[in-house]
């Protein structure tokens, strides 16, 4: 087969304890999967999914680029489930059989874009889709994890804790999330599911250091890079 141009390289994540890598296909994200204060509005009655392209996934190492056209670059720590067995209409009692492993990930967000889009009733992919908007740790095989995961996820900025919750506080447990998503479309090997973030989301500034993780799964250390050339605060 001849392509018009060379296809992009396959995005992949390391697997802890293995030389093999996990090839990333699609990235599904779940909104509001932890209890949030009432000031943020009513919680959804059904899981709300959105997507990021695989090209936004990067290993959580070194510098995190500050995206353009935003003054509210926000962090969201999340449990990521890596799917290795596809299927449609998966029963919740069999859902975890489709999971290869887990990672800690950040659903980075341009919150000002998201808030404006919501207020105007518009799609808000632009708030979620930009370069390096999904940094993740290495994937830990599920075979190395006890289930259910008895773990907390947490995030610190410049040594100050901003987010912390136990995975048991999720509104929809992972098995239910997988089952419901598979009713919307068939899951495929290589899919990643980001399972929502607890309260404490807040803006980042250039030079901030992020230390975040999930007990027993992984930790990440990142430093926020400078604003794009020519862009100052309040330039969104």
Domains and CATH numbers, the chain: 13-224 (3.90.850.10)
30 token code pair: 């779940």
C-alpha pair distances (Å), 38 with each of 42, 47, 118: 7, 18, 17
Whether residue 100 is predicted with pLDDT greater than 80 in this model: the reply is yes
Question: pLDDT per residue over 165-195, tens digit each?
Answer: 999 999 999 999 999 999 999 999 999 999 9
Question: Does pTM surpass 0.85?
Answer: yes
pLDDT at 234: 65
Tell me: pLDDT of 230 over 80.
no
Q: Which residue has the higher pLDDT, 148 or 200?
A: 200
Q: Which two tokens stand for residue 206?
A: 């250039």
* E strand spans, the chain: 12-14, 21-23, 27-31, 48-52, 57-59, 63-64, 73-74, 77-83, 99-106, 109-110, 134-136, 140-141, 152-157, 160-166, 192-194, 203-204, 209-214, 218-224
Mean pLDDT check: name the lowest of 69-83, 120-134, 211-225.
120-134
- Least-confidence region, from 11-20, 35-44, 185-194, 205-214: 35-44
CA contacts within 13 A on the Cβ side of 194:
33
Residue 144: DSSP 8-state: G
Element (H, E) at 112: helix 111-119
CB 31 within 8 A of CB 50: yes
Average pLDDT, the chain: 94
So what's the pLDDT on residue 236? Answer: 52
Q: What is the pLDDT of residue 32?
A: 87
């Amino acid at each position: 087969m001849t392509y018009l141009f060379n296809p992009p390289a396959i995005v992949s994540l390391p697997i802890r304890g293995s030389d093999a890598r996990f090839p990333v296909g699609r990235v599904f994200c779940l909104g509001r999967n932890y209890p949030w204060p009432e000031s943020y509005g009513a919680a959804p009655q059904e899981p709300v999914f959105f997507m990021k392209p695989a090209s936004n996934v990067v290993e959580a190492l070194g510098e995190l680029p500050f995206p353009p056209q935003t003054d509210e670059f926000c962090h969201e720590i999340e449990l990521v489930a890596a799917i290795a067995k596809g299927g449609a209409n998966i029963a919740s009692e069999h859902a975890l059989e489709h999971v290869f492993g887990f990672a800690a990930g950040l659903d980075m967000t341009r919150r000002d874009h998201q808030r404006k889009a919501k207020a105007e009733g518009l799609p808000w992919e632009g708030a979620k889709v930009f370069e390096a908007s999904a940094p993740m740790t290495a994937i830990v095989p599920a075979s190395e994890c006890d289930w259910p995961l008895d773990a907390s996820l947490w995030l610190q900025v410049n040594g100050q804790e901003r987010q912390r919750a136990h995975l048991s506080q999720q509104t929809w447990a992972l098995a239910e999330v997988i089952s419901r998503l598979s009713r919307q479309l068939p899951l495929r090997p290589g899919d990643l599911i980001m399972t929502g973030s607890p309260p404490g989301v807040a803006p980042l500034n250039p030079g901030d250091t992020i230390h975040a993780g999930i007990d027993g799964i992984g930790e990440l250390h990142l430093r926020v890079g400078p604003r794009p050339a020519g862009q100052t605060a309040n330039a969104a």
